[in-house]
Amino acid sequence: MPQIEVGKSAKTLILEIKPVKMKFIFPLFVSLFMATSVQASVADTASAIKTEHQVFLNTTFFIKQILSFSNANIAVSPYIVGYKCFPSKHHGFRISVGGSFTNKKEYPDSTFVRIQRSGSADFRAGYEYRYTFGKFWTFFCGADVVGNYSPSFLRINNSSDIVTTKTDAWSLGAGPVVGIQINVHKHISLFTETAFYYSYGRSKTELTSVAFPELNTGSRPSINQSGQFLLPTSIYFVFKF
């Protein structure tokens, strides 16, 4: 009899413990499920925000060169190619480069030769904020740091003298930019922009004369400060990936 009562007491104790265990295990299971769901949702959201890359080309610059609009008074942005990266939906960075080179040799008469070489290298890098409205349009604004390097060479050779002028100039500046973009396709867009850049620069000019060495000036430095306003005359072709 005592053993049976002890068995019944143990069985009763087990039955009483099971509901107590279930009382704690169920909320723990629900909490674990919710935590797993939240973690999966955050992972899906993070994976949904994919870094977007853009490569763009100044089509107006090339059209001007191909159609020989060099004599036309059309102010075109000096930045030919560029790249944008958006690690988030609205914020990204941008870089652009451009340049030009000229080499001329003129013979006005049999005793006169004029040789001219000049070049220019432009670059800019900055931050961009964008906001898409509607299905096709994107507004963007930001700020850039810009730089320029422009060497030049001029030699005039005539029957009495050979005069050579060399110039090296550079500038560094910054300013705001604002633009509008139309999204033709998920991989193709077009945009135009306007900007104002304030720059500080230095240049050195050296003049030498063969027949009159007393006219040689050596290297003469100068300081330049200027503001450049880029009109929205350039259309950029964009490929997104």
For position 49, what pLDDT does the model report? 72
Q: Report the relative pairing of strands 52-58 and 236-240 from DSSP bridges.
A: antiparallel
CB of 99 within 8 A of CB of 122?
yes
What does the block give as tokens for 119? 């070049």
For position 178, what pLDDT does the model report? 98
CATH architecture of 50-240: Beta Barrel (2.40)
| pTM of the entire predicted model | 0.73
Q: What is the pLDDT of residues 20-75, one digit of tens each?
A: 444 444 455 445 444 544 454 444 444 457 899 999 999 998 887 777 554 556 67
For position 72, what pLDDT does the model report? 55
What does the block give as tokens for 94? 């941008």
Boundaries of every domain in the chain: 1-48, 50-240
For position 214, what pLDDT does the model report? 87
| First-last CA distance in the chain | 83
For position 220, what pLDDT does the model report? 82
Comparing CA positions, the residue from 74, 165, 46, 180 lying closest to residue 116 is 165
Residues of the chain with pLDDT under 70: 1-48, 68-74
In sequence order, what are the residues at sequence separation of 6 or more whose Cβ sits closer than 8 angstroms to the Cβ of residue 235?
Answer: 58, 59, 60, 190, 191, 192
CB of 164 within 8 A of CB of 184?
no
For position 73, what pLDDT does the model report? 63
For position 3, what pLDDT does the model report? 44
What does the block give as tokens for 18? 């099971």
